[in-house]
Structure 1
Amino acid sequence: MKLDRRLLLRGAVAGGGLAALQGLMPAWAQTGSPGLRADLPTLTGPNIDLTIGQSPFTVNGRTATATTINGVLPAPVLRLREGQNVRLAVTNQLDEDTSIHWHGILLPFQMDGVPGVSFPGIRPRETFVYEFPVRQSGTFWYHSHSGLQEALGHYGPIVIDPAGADPVAYDREHVLVLSDWSFMHPHEIFDKLKKSPGYFNRQRTTLAGLLDGSDRMSLEERRMWGEMRMDPRDILDVNGSTYTYLINGHGPRENWTGLFRPGERVRLRIINASAMSIFNVRIPGLPMTVVQADGENVRPIETDEFQISVAETYDVIVQPTEDRAYTIVSEAIDRSGMGRATLAPRLGMTAEVPPLREVPNLTMKDMGMGDMGGMGGMDHGSMGAQPGGAMAGMDHGAMTGASGGAMAGMDHGAVPAQPAGAMPGMDHGSMAGMNMRDPENAPPDMAVGVGVDAIAMAPANRMGERPIGLQDVPHRVLVYTDLVSLQPNKDQRPPSRTMEIHLTGNMERFMWGFDGRKFSELVEPIRFERDERVRVTLVNDSMMAHPIHLHGHFFELVTGGPAGHQPLKHTVNVPPGGKVSFDLTADNPGDWAFHCHLLLHMHAGMFNVVTVRPMEGAAS
């Protein structure tokens, strides 16, 4: 089934002029009809009915089907209040099983909504009732945990008002749901990645870029990347070559608009509900004060831009004082496209939309080389000499030349060797000393096999670093170490034990897992005793970022910030070649999903179950 970019028509049908312009726009700007409503439908109260089905829509003469909740996409805002009980009756009108996971919500595990882990799923034409007390407040969201339905539009926002006074003062609010959408069915996207993981990368370095300097790499750096058979621009598996980036279901040219009166404090509740897209968010000319991360209040911190990974949420306060419009930009981290919306005093107003910025290049740190410096300064001898000048453990197969002036061999599949003089291939092969097929290089608990092609030699704690592509921008950028919990952490006991989990993969085969194992290999669950205090360190052995999400719990990022005020998160982005530590109090008994929230990484195996059981002698 081919799917269109537009999710749901809520207003006027596109005119012929817009249709004529569509062919002239880049892929990321090709969207559907203008005139869509800016407000999102809202459901509230103790009893809420949700129906999961399919909704037809037509754009540019093409008709497709989205998976929707109550016929809209994004799904309706669920407006709840801390302290209430809520009963959500979910009816499945699909021809396949479905589910809803309440992302970031603390509840009994039987209500968490993960088929095969916490409940059997919702079969066609059946209704399942989720019922639980609301124990928290903040910005959260909900989505399918069945197959790849999330990529088809099955997601929506949750806003929970606090039982008492809100520590965040604001006059008006807008919910902003960021997401990605493709004409291509997600199963077809997955199949293409399995056959050729670089299929969607149209931004590779080229010979022309080397000659004119536009690739911003020296000949020595290019030679090094070639010897390592890696692609310095392999940043997102799926990008603007097929995705349109949406804000509240609106594409860039549809221009979702949120209103304000000059001088008002406007709260923006920003949710990344994408399947595979990490965004850099900014509002040119308007500073943002971050007041909440993943639904938890933080000490206000002013910034000009922040990165939001898949499944994260950030609440920000803006206070526009001028009678003018501002553009909200959600730019994909590989700069292959952007979402765009507007803040304005009146409908119909627009502001300048900035152009896409330069495509970033990955560095030695992104390969887990820590602070070993620039590529040109690397010690080739320390990497281990190889026949023909190749570096140790780095050859996943020579690659064919790329068309259109692109450098040879920047896709991932193994194909015939290059002709003489061609630039070396750049796939995801492992670096010297990183070849996981040698058991001596593996951590004790890691499975060494085809599912692991590399291990980081010197993974670095990068929580205080600006994220990919934002290292050199001339304004303030939020980093994890800026986040400080507004309230003291409830459990300040030191951890009683430590645990290290490696995020592993084989990019050539698009295989992903934890510690070298994918979930389908019947891996052992990760076990915690109830109320146990554990420090978990996630080590990313790959060159791709991984937003890791733990269900049913919040954890405290170990940022080195003020003692007792570590930021609470339910999802953390682990950068390429990086590591992240968090302290967890396993206080919610049951079986909980633990996975990468890049949907296709989870689908490919980066998933496990965390099981929390009562300590010996404790009550169940």
Structure 2
Amino acid sequence: MLSRRSFLGGSLAAGIAPFTRAQAIESSPTVLRLERRSIEVNGKSASVLGIRQPNGQFGIATEIGKPFHVRVENRLSEPSLIHWHGLTPPWRQDGVPGVSAPPIPAGGSADYDFPLTFGGTYWMHSHEGLQEQVLLAAPLIIHGGADRADEQDIVLMLADFSFTPPEEIFKRLRNGGGMAAMNGAAKSPAMMGANPGMAMPKAAAKPDLNDVKYDAFLANERTLADPEVVKVEPGRSALLRVINSSSMSAFHIDLGQLKGDLIAVDGHRITPLKGRSFPIAVSQRLDIRLAIPRRAAAYPVLARLEGERRQTGLILVAGRGHVRRAPELADAASPPLTLELESRLRAAEPLKAREADRSHTLNLTGEMAGYRWSINGVEWTEETPPLPVAEGERVELIFVNKTAMPHPMHLHGHVFQVVAINGNRFAGAMRDSLLVPPETSVTVAFDANNPGWWAVHCHLLYHLAAGMFTTIRYV
């Protein structure tokens, strides 16, 4: 995982404080407390973590134009640090231990203050150790832009859950047993693309999915045995904000009887697309405008696990609709996620047309043996040099997946546009997280307009922990 010590010298040791001391005098910050708590999963009590305001609210809902003036209080017995996923803060407020700031010690606090210049659906989560697996995550909603004043907001936050401590999960994956779902024969280093210059053999074309066998899949921290029931008004539209905060699990969102318009991905507006089913990779978000029929009824909104029958979700109830229990197993296994929808997405506000000044090819490499994951064959350490970039450049990152597993890749501190899939150019969606399936290359473009030292990594938690991580630096 990331180094716990500062290796930028005194400037990094100063951490976040220089950005906030003057502002803190002017107004009181929103307080977020990192706490341990208990929830019930499958009829059993589970000790998990959480990010709550003093009034009990999870995460933050705010508006464009307001300052993001937040104090994080660490009430855990261990260090932690929160990343504002999808936002573009000043570098040292990004929340990556050893890259942007030191962890907040147990009992300590840190202040954040930066402007919010765009709205949408985002989230916050720990970037310290494996805390994200223990539900140290929460919604971060910025109202404005495409929001409608008369529209009901519904947040659906997905998570995968295990009673096994994450450290033990990772240990078993490293040892090649217990928690790993091998989906067939064991993968050799050659099959998994350990050589970054080697194309994956056609024999391994079937993707390897779901390394970890989870005890439950949660929707707003509940299973379909006891789902959240949300009252909606017949004949009124609602905005469903789906956040996949899972550590390792991708889903298909199934709207059932409802019709939906996908209007934004990762917080950024697109040309709307109609549908009843939409894929969502780890760390991605979907904003779906729902048309609620003018009749009393109950409408399950389900998230079906990629490649399996297991599902979770919530129930929307219009009027006096009768709620029936939704099954926790679908009739058939869902297919692997593809980029079919991605290829049809078009940004409402794309990057200005411009040739790239610089490009970097990032081969996604690794092997199941020893559970080793890397970029360009290198497992990240603090000595790994950052990718060079200059301020003001248009930069393209070419992700080439040479493994048998899909990888959701996330860039910190910037918004990128999807500009090519397997070399076919198009003006796709604006995003911060992108799925790269096996045997696939995807190119994204961004403007280097936020100087600092920024992470680029696979958002599968145990792939990140194993070393599928690198950085971009320009100051």
The TM-score range, normalised by the shorter chain, is 0.7 to 0.9
How many residues end up aligned between the 2 structures?
430
The structural deviation recorded for 1:607 is 0.9
Partner Cα distance (2:389, 2:50) in 1: 36
**Equivalent position of 2:225 in the other structure:** 253
SS class of match (1:129) = strand
**Equivalent position of 1:538 in the other structure:** 399
Aligned counterpart for 1:100 among listed residues 53, 57, 82: 82
Instruction: Name the CA shift for 1:125/1:539 in 2 (closer, same or farther; >3 Å).
Output: same
Partner Cα distance (1:484, 1:111) in 2: 30
**Equivalent position of 2:254 in the other structure:** 282
Partner Cα distance (2:100, 2:365) in 1: 26
Q: Which has the larger radius of gyration?
A: 1
Matches within 5 A, 1:89-488: 89-162=71-144, 166=146, 171-196=151-176, 199-201=179-181, 232=206, 234-239=208-213, 242-321=214-293, 322-345=295-318, 346=320, 349-350=323-324, 353=327, 355-359=329-333, 468-469=335-336, 479-488=341-350
Q: 1:298-317 CA deviation, whole Å, 9 max, x = no partner?
A: 11110121110111001001
Aligned counterpart for 1:595 among listed residues 457, 466, 469: 457
The structural deviation recorded for 1:201 is 2.4
Partner Cα distance (2:292, 2:360) in 1: 46
Instruction: Name the CA shift for 1:283/1:60 in 2 (closer, same or farther; >3 Å).
Output: closer
The one-letter code matched in structure 2 to 1:356 is: A
Partner Cα distance (1:527, 1:497) in 2: 9
**Equivalent position of 2:355 in the other structure:** 494
Instruction: Name the CA shift for 1:351/1:80 in 2 (closer, same or farther; >3 Å).
Output: same
| Two-structure CA RMSD over aligned residues (Å) | 2.9
SS class of match (2:369) = helix
Partner Cα distance (2:325, 2:47) in 1: 32
Could you state the TM-score of these two structures normalised by the residue count of structure 2?
0.84
Query: Which structure has the higher relative contact order (CA within 8 Å, separation 6+)?
Result: 2
SS class of match (1:325) = strand
SS class of match (1:509) = coil
Q: 1:4-32 CA deviation, whole Å, 9 max, x = no partner?
A: xxxxxxxxxxxxxxxxxxxxxxxxxxxxx
Partner Cα distance (1:228, 1:566) in 2: 28
Could you state the TM-score of these two structures normalised by the residue count of structure 1?
0.65
SS class of match (2:378) = coil
Instruction: Name the CA shift for 1:199/1:89 in 2 (closer, same or farther; >3 Å).
Output: closer
The structural deviation recorded for 1:148 is 0.5
The 10-residue stretch of structure 1 (517-526 or 549-558) with the greater mean CA deviation from structure 2:
517-526
Aligned counterpart for 1:56 among listed residues 24, 38, 49: 38
The structural deviation recorded for 1:171 is 2.0
Kept in 2, the 8 Å contact 1:259–1:347? The answer is no
Partner Cα distance (1:470, 1:580) in 2: 15
The structural deviation recorded for 1:499 is 2.0
The structural deviation recorded for 1:331 is 0.9
Q: 1:145-172 CA deviation, whole Å, 9 max, x = no partner?
A: 100001001000011112xx63667621
Kept in 1, the 8 Å contact 2:41–2:222? The answer is no
Q: 1:506-546 CA deviation, whole Å, 9 max, x = no partner?
A: 11110001000011272211121011112221000001110
Instruction: Name the CA shift for 1:276/1:586 in 2 (closer, same or farther; >3 Å).
Output: same
Kept in 1, the 8 Å contact 2:239–2:289? The answer is yes
The structural deviation recorded for 1:204 is 5.0
Kept in 2, the 8 Å contact 1:198–1:234? The answer is no
**Aligned residues with identical type, % of pairs:** 30
Kept in 1, the 8 Å contact 2:386–2:473? The answer is yes
1:68 and 2:50 aligned: yes
Kept in 2, the 8 Å contact 1:545–1:574? The answer is yes
Kept in 1, the 8 Å contact 2:419–2:425? The answer is no
The one-letter code matched in structure 2 to 1:266 is: A
SS class of match (2:80) = coil
The structural deviation recorded for 1:270 is 0.5
**Equivalent position of 1:36 in the other structure:** none
The one-letter code matched in structure 1 to 2:291 is: Q
Q: 1:259-297 CA deviation, whole Å, 9 max, x = no partner?
A: 212211110000000011111111112222100000001
The one-letter code matched in structure 2 to 1:234 is: D
**Equivalent position of 1:373 in the other structure:** none
The one-letter code matched in structure 1 to 2:448 is: A
The structural deviation recorded for 1:350 is 2.8
The structural deviation recorded for 1:70 is 2.9
**Equivalent position of 1:420 in the other structure:** none
SS class of match (2:117) = coil
Instruction: Name the CA shift for 1:75/1:509 in 2 (closer, same or farther; >3 Å).
Output: farther
Partner Cα distance (1:478, 1:229) in 2: 22
The structural deviation recorded for 1:320 is 2.2
The structural deviation recorded for 1:110 is 1.0
**Equivalent position of 2:7 in the other structure:** none
The one-letter code matched in structure 2 to 1:175 is: V
The one-letter code matched in structure 2 to 1:328 is: V
Instruction: Name the CA shift for 1:562/1:172 in 2 (closer, same or farther; >3 Å).
Output: farther
